[in-house]
Amino acid sequence: MKTYKYKIYNQSNTIRIGNLLDDMWQVHEYFHKWQDQRHKDGLSYANYAAMCQHAKDLKRSTHPHWKLLPSQAIQAELERIDNAYQRFFKKLGGKPHIKPRHKFKSITLKQAGYKLTNNHITLTFRKWNPKTWKWQFDKVPYTFHKHRQWHGTLVRMTIKRDTCGHYWLCITTTYTDSKPLPATGQSVGADNVIQGMDLVYSQTKSGMKDAYLTLSTGEKIQHPQPLKQSLNKLRSLNKALSRKKKGSNGWWRCVRELARFYHKVSNQRKDFHWQLASKLCKRFDTIVVETLNLDGMKRLWGRKVSDLAFYQFVEILKYKCRKHKRLFKQVGQWTATTKPCSDCGFHNETLTLKDRQWRCPECGSHHDRDINAAINILRAGIAVP
């Protein structure tokens, strides 16, 4: 399945989408509190079917205003809640909790409630007609920036609101994105700068001392570190926000400006990752990287590890390898890659983090620490069945 994302233009009627999201948040809040109350009363968990039936009863009794909301959007939200609880029962995640209103950002429609034609989408809202005393449908058109054509059968449509206040249309189809590239016969191992505890000695005030990625071919790729380059701007924006009265128009204006700044930094980082993943897939048939304990590293170094965003790069690289029919492998976290000599296999137990260059006492080979580790990662990855 593939999802296409399009930006909805700013229009006078987009406020209705925002109101719809706020109303759907009330459904989200109610059913989380309902499940907690059932647990306190000693009752069993109510599954998706029971929640749907309870929603129908509420529309007839205490919550008739829920009839204004798209029924498929309510069903999709109840399905999300049920999936979250099922993961919690299987110990795959934490206990589901109520999202704050400003963090509830999306609704999903599967079959009805909308109509797509070219770069226009018509959403169907329900409203009460006081003259006829009946519910009637109100079709509201929206225009979005269709920068590319989607392919495949449409499965569902999601409307999202980001922190900048922009609305996005996400169309999910059954299309399988595949574009095989010609074989090159080359393989590569990649050693990351945050492997182990190298980050302590590789970060300086002027930038990164070592490369973001070191390839087994001897190449070293630097990371632009967009967040680190923008810290002065970030500091000034936060100072301006702290001088405003919370909740005022000026305060909200600063919040939006800060959100747009973070969005720009995120786009710069993603652009670098996508371009790097494309270059690697065009050059190599097999790509091997190492599994890292990124959560532990974030607790130690925080912003530095988050700015490099190695996990995001690995996920993008996986997608590109599937698309271009490349072989992607990851070696284990505890695989010895730094201390073994890539020529003779001798383990240099005296190697410390400060040693960026070293000579093997067994065979006399001179090694660059990162290049030697990348070669060992490639050999360990090829050996994995």
pLDDT tens for each residue of the chain, 385 residues long:
899 999 999 888 898 899 999 999 999 999 999 999 999 999 999 999 999 999 999 999 999 888 888 889 999 999 999 999 999 999 998 999 999 998 999 999 987 788 898 899 999 887 778 888 887 888 889 999 999 999 989 999 999 999 888 999 999 999 988 889 999 999 999 988 765 444 444 444 334 456 889 899 989 999 999 999 999 999 999 999 999 999 999 999 999 999 999 999 999 999 999 999 999 999 999 999 988 888 888 787 788 888 999 999 999 999 999 999 999 999 988 888 888 888 888 888 888 877 888 888 888 888 888 888 899 999 888 875 5
* Cα 279 from Cα 367, distance rounded (Å): 26
For residue 223, give both structure tokens: 């990371």
For residue 279, give both structure tokens: 């270059």
pLDDT at 209: 54
Phi/psi at 86 (5° precision):
-65, -40
Polymer length of the chain: 385
pLDDT at 13: 87
pLDDT at 31: 96
pTM of the model: 0.84
Long-range contacts of 196-204 (CB under 8 A, 24+ apart): 196/338, 196/353, 197/353, 198/353, 198/370, 199/297, 199/301, 199/304, 199/305, 200/301, 200/353, 201/353, 201/354, 203/301, 203/304
Question: 191 near 337, Cβ under 8 Å?
Answer: yes
The candidate with the shortest Cα–Cα distance to 314, out of 340, 335, 292, is 292
* Cα 32 from Cα 202, distance rounded (Å): 46
Distances in Å between the Cα of 44 and the Cα atoms of 34, 39, 83, 84 are 12, 7, 16, 16
Residue 115 sits at the vertex; the CA angle it makes with 161 and 129, to the nearest 5 degrees, is 85
* Cα 77 from Cα 251, distance rounded (Å): 32
pLDDT at 201: 40
Output DSSP code: residue 199.
Answer: H
Kindly list the domain boundaries of the chain, sorted by start residue: 2-173, 187-227+276-383
* Cα 106 from Cα 93, distance rounded (Å): 21
pLDDT at 206: 37
pLDDT at 362: 82
**Residue 167, SS3?**
strand
Q: Give me the DSSP letters along 313-380.
A: HHHHHHHHHHHTT-EEEEE-TT---SSB-TTT--B-TT--TT-SEEE-TTT--EEEHHHHHHHHHHHH
